[in-house]
Amino acid sequence: MNERVEILGVNVDSLTMAESVKFIENLIDSGKPSIVATANAEMLMRATQDEELKDILNAAALVVPDGAGTVWAARHLGCEMPERVAGYDLAQELMKIAPEKSYKIFLFGSAPGVADKAKLKAEELYPGIEIVGTRNGFFSPEDEPEIVEKIKETKPDILFAALGVPKQEKWLAKYKDELNVPVSIGVGGTFDVMAGVMKRAPLWMQRAKLEWLFRAMLQPKRAGRLAALPKFVLKVHSSKKKLEK
């Protein structure tokens, strides 16, 4: 069992990137369908008001600390959290080892054409990678059986789902057993970045823990979502105080 830190009711695993990759390799070897989630502050805040999301996260095989906010919260609560394990970086690490491990990958989500572009990018970056299928993330409930069939047919070892939070987590939880894919991961804007539709923050900003600011600058529509961050800090702080009483 990994060390887990409870942050606002969600158990987050205390692991490095290398340990997370190893853990996922073991999940794939076990063959049992499982969900991996990447928890940033926004997701953890949402889970405080969305019981279904919270239950899905607590039932996941692995919840990695995606984002400076999650790492800060764990440490503030007095627990070990070695480093940030960003969803985008985790997806890249898994794609990097996929050719040598013969992992087959399915890319599900984002606007039409984006997952195909991400596939081309992956083939350029990781020669020999087997992306066995793609499907955009805009669909109606009637399309879902066909999407499930398409994923099942291609028998991937890893399913990356980029539908945004909490849609991706809920969709994966709903279809986990039927899909029978060893590892499914919600990866948010990963395909957008790979396809060049969205930019990742420059390294200096990532290191200065300012990636959230960069995203808000590029997508002003998201700026409202930033309000979740100070609320998150306050909520974690008061949960710590309660613990101390």
Residues making contact with ligand UDP (CB under 6 A): 109-111, 137-138, 162-165, 167, 188-189, 191-192
- Nearest approach, Cβ of 153 to ligand UDP (angstroms)? 21
Question: Considering only CA atoms, which of 27, 49, 37 is closest in space to residue 170?
Answer: 37
Q: Cβ neighbours of residue 187 under 8 Å, at least 6 residues apart?
A: 38, 87, 88, 90, 91, 109, 160, 161, 162, 168
Give me the residue whose beta carbon is nearest to ligand UDP. Answer: 137
Instruction: Pick between residue 10 and residue 239 the one whose CB is nearest to ligand UDP.
Output: 10
User: Residue 33 or residue 189: which is nearer to ligand UDP going by CB?
Assistant: 189
- Identify which of residues 133 and 188 has a Cβ nearer to ligand UDP in the complex: 188
Nearer to ligand UDP, 135 or 235 (CB): 135
**What's the closest the beta carbon of residue 21 comes to ligand UDP, in angstroms?**
20
Say if CB 165 and CB 188 are below 8 A apart.
yes
CB 234, min distance to ligand UDP, A: 21
**Six token digits for residue 1:** 């069992």
Report, in Å, the least distance between residue 228 CB and ligand UDP. 11
| DSSP structure string for 162-185 | ES-TTHHHHHHHHHHHHHT-SEEE
Q: How far is the CB of 11 from ligand UDP (least distance, A)?
A: 20
Q: Are 61 and 35 in contact (CB under 8 A)?
A: yes
Pair 137, 190: CB distance under 8 Å: no
72 versus 171: smaller Cβ distance to ligand UDP: 171
Could you tell me the smallest distance in angstroms from the CB atom of residue 67 to ligand UDP? 10
The DSSP-derived string for 86-109 is -HHHHHHHHHHHHHHHT-EEEEEE
Q: CB nearer to ligand UDP: give 126 or 171.
A: 171
CB of 159 to ligand UDP, least distance (A): 14
Q: Which is nearer to ligand UDP, 8 or 107 (CB)?
A: 107
Pair of tokens at residue 236: 């974690």
Percentages of the chain per state (helix, strand, coil), in multiples of 5: 55, 15, 30
Give the position of tokens 């690490």: 93
